[in-house]
Amino acid sequence: MPNHKRILITPGEPAGIGPDITLQIAMQPWEAELIAIADLNLLQERARLLGLPLKISEWKGPDQPVTTHQAGTLKVRPVKLAHAVVPQKLDAANASYVQQTLDLATDLCLEKKAQAIVTGPVHKGIMQTAGLPFLGHTEYFAKRCAAATHTPCEPVMLFVTESLKVALVTTHLPLAAVPKALTSTHIQSVLSILYSELKQKFGIASPRILVCGLNPHAGEGGYLGLEEIEIITPALQAFQKQHGPCVIGPLPADTIFTPHYLMQADAVLAMYHDQALPVVKYIGFGQAVNVTLGLPLIRTSVDHGTALNITGTGKADAGSMAAALKLAIQLAH
């Protein structure tokens, strides 16, 4: 059994569909050991509500041999909720529970007792209402890993579909703050992480990366903005001096996602969140995976939110969670 990997699942917001889709994928066989880090009673109650005949048991700990997941079962590392959960109803008292599940998953991976984390959707608003400075999983994992390893982590958000990989230079920022956040140094750093991990984790020997401009028409030669001339192009030129002609750009974002360009590349680097995500979700919503690069662990996630309105109804689609788990297993190998 030495080749089997232990994959941790954090279902996320307990009032949302995270527990639902975690239970749904547990009904399938997987070539890895799955450990849900969650409240045991929450999962049992949700399984009853959804009519899923799951055998849910407490995980005996990391010293146990790693075994493959058996369909219709689920091992759980218990973390207690502050309050009992009412599906579809947010409760700020349970925000600390969500963070505890993430803390535990991170620690287990950093201690090499598990090989990857798959995260369900969290509700950033209720986390911040509870007083937790939580901007998102990406920022959380970077901060937690940096504190644990005493090494700075620069996370890079990569979205993966069957036909497209798109990374972001900036993540969860207001649009007005994006231009000030763009520096040539930062763009080169993100490119370096993306280039390296496309090689190491995805097995692409010579990655080719298309880079978006910031402004319409990539600045139109300076008439629609100077960021391309003053920041982005110098960053790409400096990167090319080290790695050769592996990056192309800056290109207009309104044409970079057309087949003509995409067939030439292994990944696209976008400047900000909503420059990339509409395309990703149009192409692969429900099947896309969010991967955090630049960490000393493997983390994949669903591409959607908590969908409170369908929690507990059986209407939640576990496709993105299944895709995230499948990719986590591949990357762990």
103-123 confidence digits (pLDDT tens): 999 999 999 999 999 999 999
Give the pLDDT band of residue 239 (cuts 50, 70, 90). Answer: very high
| Residue 1 predicted with pLDDT over 80 | no
174-218 confidence digits (pLDDT tens): 999 999 999 999 999 999 999 999 999 999 999 999 999 999 999
263-297 confidence digits (pLDDT tens): 989 999 999 999 999 999 998 887 889 999 999 99
In this structure, what token pair is assigned to residue 146? 């940096």
Domains of the chain: 6-153+295-332 (3.40.718.10), 156-278 (3.40.718.10)
Mean pLDDT throughout 141-162?
A: 91
